[in-house]
Amino acid sequence: MHKGAWACARLVARVPAMAAFLLLLALPLTAGAWGPDGHQQIGALADQLIAGTRAETQVKSILGGMSLRTVAVWADCAKGVKDGRYANDPQVYPECVAFDPESKRFESFVLRNPLHGQYHYTDVSNFEDRYGDFFGTNGHDVVHAINAAILVLRGKPQPRPFAMDRKEALMLLAHYAGDVHQPLHAVAIYLDEQGQPVDPDHGGDRLKSGNAGGNALRLPLADPPDPRAPQNLHSFWDAIPTAYKADGPQSGRMLQEARQVPATAGDPLTWAAAWAGDTITSGRGPAFQGLAFTAVAGASPRWNVAGLDANYRQTAEEFKFHQLAKGGARLAELLRALWPDPHPPAAEAPASAGNAPGGYLSDNAPLSIDWLPPAPAPGSAREREDIAVFRATRRDIGLARGQLAAEDDVFGEGLVAARFAAAAGVDLAARAPTLLKMIRQVQVDADHLVSLVKRPVRLPVKEHLKDPDRGRYRPFVMYPAPPSCLFPRDLVPGHRDNDLAHNLKTSGSYPSTHALFGLLTGMILAEALPARADALMRRGVEFGDSRVICGFHYKSDVEAGRQAATFLYGQLRADPVFAADLRKLGEELRTAGAK
């Protein structure tokens, strides 16, 4: 069977062989409603993002002129091999027709890789906040499959059980980069017989709680019945809206977002684990929050799903948009890392031994913010002040300041630059490319710094309170009744990002990363454009205040973020590459006519 859609259905649950076989007989391994369109969109985005680079030349050479958009479905088409023979129905799987002349490759690949169906996913519990040595991971999951492909393309030996040549490695990479960004290919919910979530790494029954990546989570039948509608939660997440297809009406906006995805730091062999971790933490909320599960009598392990209401579907649709953009951006990023363009002359960008890919500062730099005070203790005077400020600012939602706060809720460098354009007196997104680079890189450094103290929040509350390293709930989670930049939606039409899709509820409130890089952006621009320093610093402070008004952070979260920004700017200012970029930015702004 071919498996279309964004990613492939789970072929084997994490249970012993016989139990897995019996489970497979009961599961509907149907294709998602939009076929291979998600994978093709990711490939199409990457095609555009590597255009004109050395990576594009290498890709075309290895693929014989085929595009990433075309080959992104190859790994699914390989499932057309049954009993050692490949067969394709072009009426059902037209996306596989391009490979029919080389169909013997499918048969050879499947013979060499009998576990290839398991290369597409990993099943980390939604109780975890990263990819690691947890139940549901193994040496042939999607993270290891991506790394095996990287090794082959680097000319290095690949580990067992992988057996692929260079062309296969590149075609598989184009596919698995999409899989690792589909939530139900990275994070799994494990359920007991009452339909309640259980933690398989801490006492949950591993043999009974798995649901094959959502394939055993059955959706209500459409009314009237629609054979094209997803039948289970996995196929629901595989499906993408028609507008998200390559060349669809949202492709331009998706490409713009893909260009703003922050770079990944470290060696490319660490990237797949980082991407899986990002999908786990950001995807578990949109994938499972608000759903209820009821075990199907006599059909265990299988559950009926309730709760796919309009809000859930809208959140899922928006999250798919972000994940497709990330998948395309990161596939292109990986290909450009494998075949980098020639380095610019030393005079253009001074070398710095401490620089890490994606950021200015090395991951090994002696960064520490142990001096940062902890989040206010429950019931303390500082917490009471935080709550009072939160309640007082609810009046701003729906007014002009609330609108400004909603519009400040951006992360991509182009969108952030646009928020400072009025204070700078110049179109920064269009006229200051060095600023966009600097914002992108300092965001990597900011994330690295804040990760030293920021703690995630575990839901539900009862589980969270047992965690000695628990983070701080955000105000809109603790006090959902007052309005915020998320609810009700009609009060904040200027809101740009879907924060629920980014799992804002579980990411922890203290300190505020947005306040950190908002002030940092103001400081960068103030030094590059001293005549407008007051307005730019004011805008940087205002950017952080918007997080309080939106209900995403408390006052003390924002204050801690600003303290971290001041410290980080001192570290950055001592870096020669940062200092060179700062000088270059000043020249760009003067050329653009900023005064």
> Domain limits of the chain?
17-338, 381-591
- Please choose, from the candidates 120, 119, 124, the residue with its C-alpha nearest in 3D space to the C-alpha of residue 135: 124
End-to-end CA separation in angstroms for the chain: 64
- Please choose, from the candidates 85, 266, 86, 71, the residue with its C-alpha nearest in 3D space to the C-alpha of residue 169: 71
State the Cα–Cα distance between residues 571 and 552, nearest whole angstrom: 28
Angle separating helix axes 576-591 and 555-573, nearest 10 degrees? 100
Can you count the helices (H) and strands (E) in the chain?
25, 9
381-591 CATH: 1.20.144.10
Task: Tell me whether the CATH fold assigned to 17-338 matches the one assigned to 381-591.
Answer: no
**Contact in structure between 573 and 562 (CB atoms under 8 Å):** no
Contacts of 243 (CB under 8 A, 6+ apart): 249, 250
State the Cα–Cα distance between residues 98 and 106, nearest whole angstrom: 13
Put simply, whether the predicted model's pTM sits higher than 0.75 gets the answer no
What pLDDT, on the 0 to 100 scale, is given for residue 20?
35
What pLDDT, on the 0 to 100 scale, is given for residue 583?
95
Which residue intervals of 219-309 are DSSP H helices? 233-238, 251-258, 271-288
- The tokens describing 58, both together, are 């290498």
306 dihedral zone (left: phi>0; alpha: psi -120 to 50; beta): beta
Superfamily of domain 17-338: P1 Nuclease (1.10.575.10)
Under-50 pLDDT residues of the chain? 1-5, 7-34, 344-357, 364, 494-502
